[in-house]
């Protein structure tokens, strides 16, 4: 799940992000200090829920919500505010929730359980990924054919990062363990990112990849992954893990250590 928490007060954002990370540890939880910043993030990410403060300078939350609704009609908007008098206008914008500060984890959980637009993709519309053993990926029951071996390596690394936005240096070190961040490697990486985007788009799941300013991440909601299920405590996934994880990739060593330690 990809979320954006929007508030001009960082002291409000920090605990909400912490609670969201606890509720959805495999998700990507972004933050913005203004409506304009939120709209910019929305254009570059496949966002499921926006937690939106109402009382903000320049562009207030209600105005931002109208622009969000015009840009992404099915994105869930949950207002966060210290004032109850905005509730009627908020719901006229088809909000999915209205939370009064201070916000608790239970409030967030309840709001997420009762969203207006439960837009999770069906399982057969997701990429299926196997991380335990050697890394492999399928779509509609067919192995995904990557144009380049390193494109598959990049995809595996982004899967390993569980939706975290990865910068150029991180991706170069993962794809080329001996590499350095220079123009040559950076150019090659851009080609791999473009190749991966093309591969996913041709399958009809281009929204699996989202890109920021110099960063790339995976929309984990578009992936059916044994590793992600394991982290959620899925019994079948726990039984499937026998100590091997993405065995062909050096970058997976840290996760392998974490899984063995957990086991």
Interacting residues of 25 by C-beta distance below 8 A, sequence separation 6+: 162, 231
Give me the pLDDT at residue 123, please: 55
pLDDT value at 144 more than 60: yes
Q: Which residue(s) pair with 99 in the sheet?
A: 80
pLDDT value at 87 more than 60: yes
pLDDT confidence tier of residue 56, bands split at 50, 70 and 90: confident
Give the Cα separation of 151 and 173 in Å (integer).
14
> Within its chain, how far is the Cα of 97 from the centroid?
21
Burial level of 59, CB count in 10 A (0-12/13-18/19+)? middle
Give me the pLDDT at residue 119, please: 63
Are the C-beta atoms of residues 61 and 55 closer than 8 Å to each other?
yes
pLDDT confidence tier of residue 28, bands split at 50, 70 and 90: confident
Give me the pLDDT at residue 223, please: 93
- What sign for the dihedral angle of Cα 167, 173, 176, 182? positive
The full set of domains in the chain, from first to last, is 2-113 (3.40.50.2300), 123-262 (1.10.10.10)
pLDDT value at 124 more than 70: no
> Whole-number mean pLDDT of the chain?
89
pLDDT confidence tier of residue 74, bands split at 50, 70 and 90: confident
In 3D, which of 76, 85, 84, 130 has the Cα closest to residue 108? 76
Query: pLDDT tens, 182-196?
Result: 889 999 999 999 999
The arithmetic mean of pLDDT across residues 88-99, rounded, is 83
Give me the pLDDT at residue 106, please: 93
The arithmetic mean of pLDDT across residues 196-221, rounded, is 89
Give me the pLDDT at residue 88, please: 75
């Amino acid at each position: 799940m990809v979320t954006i928490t929007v508030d001009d007060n960082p002291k409000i954002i920090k605990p909400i992000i912490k609670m969201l990370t606890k509720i959805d540890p495999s998700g990507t939880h972004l933050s913005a200090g203004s409506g304009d910043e939120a709209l910019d993030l929305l254009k570059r990410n496949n966002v499921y829920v926006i937690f939106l403060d109402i009382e903000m300078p320049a562009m207030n939350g209600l105005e931002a919500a109208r622009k969000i609704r015009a840009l992404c009609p099915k994105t869930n908007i949950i207002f966060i505010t210290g004032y109850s008098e905005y509730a009627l206008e908020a719901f006229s914008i088809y909000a999915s929730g209205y939370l009064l500060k201070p916000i608790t984890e239970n409030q967030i959980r309840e709001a997420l359980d009762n969203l207006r637009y439960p837009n999770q993709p069906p399982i057969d519309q997701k990429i299926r990924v196997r991380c335990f053993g050697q890394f492999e990926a399928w779509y509609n029951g067919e192995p995904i054919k990557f144009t380049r071996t390193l494109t598959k390596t990049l995809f595996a690394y982004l899967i390993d990062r569980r939706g975290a936005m990865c910068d150029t240096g991180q991706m170069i070190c993962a794809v080329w363990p001996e590499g350095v961040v220079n123009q040559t490697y950076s150019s090659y990486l851009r080609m791999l990112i473009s190749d991966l985007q093309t591969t996913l788009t041709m399958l009809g799941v281009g929204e699996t990849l989202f890109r920021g300013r110099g960063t790339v991440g995976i929309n984990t909601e578009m992936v059916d992954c044994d590793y992600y299920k394991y982290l959620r405590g899925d019994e079948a996934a726990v039984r499937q893990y026998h100590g091997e994880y993405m065995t062909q990739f050096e970058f997976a060593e840290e996760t392998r250590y974490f899984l063995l330690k957990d086991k």
